[in-house]
């Protein structure tokens, strides 16, 4: 049986990184985390773009409609600052809104910083793709994807990526599996494929 390769769009949204004023850290941290977390073959398409709503919308449409990305992860541009327009751009290209992802990210981040309530991350479905806005800081990216673990490595608050594989199943994207040492994905028994 042929294994589908999951195609993932990784988008860093930052005026300074896109202009070369500083090195982007969001995409490298996402690539590193996905490399540890995914047990399924994957490939990525990378974009570093400024905080411009029209450009963000065009990039998201391009990654889904033309590059065939099944999952798109963005970093940056989700705060309350004037130039932070990632959520608005993401909602503008949505077919369906998935509010639980943003709610869970804020819940996880509140364990670390009270300013997590200022985060406006959203997640949406466009066609057969899931688009998720992640925080801009590498440490916060890993925390929200992976969740909170106790001193023994046991998950106490699930990260958002635990729900991503089943969400992709429901929108008829490729079946993916995760490394349970990093994040245990959850599927109902009826949706699990035999090993």
Reported as a single tens digit per residue, the pLDDT across 133-170 is 999 889 999 999 999 888 888 888 899 999 999 999 99
Q: 6-191, what's its fold?
A: Molybdenum Cofactor Biosythetic Enzyme; Chain A (3.40.980)
- Do the bridges between strand 71-75 and strand 6-13 make them parallel or antiparallel, or are there none, so unpaired? parallel
| pLDDT at position 1 over 50 | no
Where is pLDDT greater, at 81 or 195? Answer: 81
What is the overall mean pLDDT for the chain? 93
Handedness of CA 158, 127, 95, 44 (dihedral sign): positive
Predicted pLDDT at 195: 63
- Do the bridges between strand 129-134 and strand 155-158 make them parallel or antiparallel, or are there none, so unpaired? unpaired
Reported as a single tens digit per residue, the pLDDT across 70-122 is 999 999 999 999 999 999 999 999 999 999 999 999 999 999 999 999 999 99
Domain ranges of the chain: 6-191
Tell me the residue length of the chain. 195
Give the confidence band of 47 by pLDDT, cuts at 50, 70, 90: very high
Least confident of 35-44, 62-71, 144-153, 171-180: 144-153
What span, in angstroms and rounded, lies between the C-alpha atoms of 64 and 129? 6
DSSP code string of 91-120: HHT-SEE-HHHHHHHHHHHTTT-GGGGG--
């Amino acid at each position: 049986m042929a294994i589908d390769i999951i195609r993932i769009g990784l988008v860093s949204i930052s005026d300074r990184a896109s202009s070369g004023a500083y090195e982007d850290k969001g995409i490298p941290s996402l690539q590193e985390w996905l490399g540890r977390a995914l047990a399924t073959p994957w490939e990525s398409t990378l974009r570093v773009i400024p905080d411009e709503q029209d450009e963000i919308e065009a990039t998201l449409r391009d990654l889904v409609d033309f590059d065939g990305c099944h999952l798109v992860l963005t970093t940056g541009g989700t705060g309350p600052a004037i130039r932070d327009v990632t959520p608005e751009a993401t909602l503008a290209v949505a077919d369906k809104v998935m509010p639980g992802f943003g709610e869970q990210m804020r819940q996880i981040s509140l364990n670390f910083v009270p300013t997590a309530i200022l985060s406006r991350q959203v997640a949406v479905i466009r066609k057969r793709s899931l688009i998720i806005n992640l925080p801009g800081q590498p440490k916060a990216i890993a925390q929200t994807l992976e969740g909170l673990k106790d001193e023994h490595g046991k998950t106490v608050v699930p990260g958002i990526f635990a729900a991503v594989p089943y969400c992709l199943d429901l929108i008829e994207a490729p079946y993916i599996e995760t490394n349970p040492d990093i994040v245990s994905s959850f599927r109902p028994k009826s949706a699990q494929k035999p090993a």
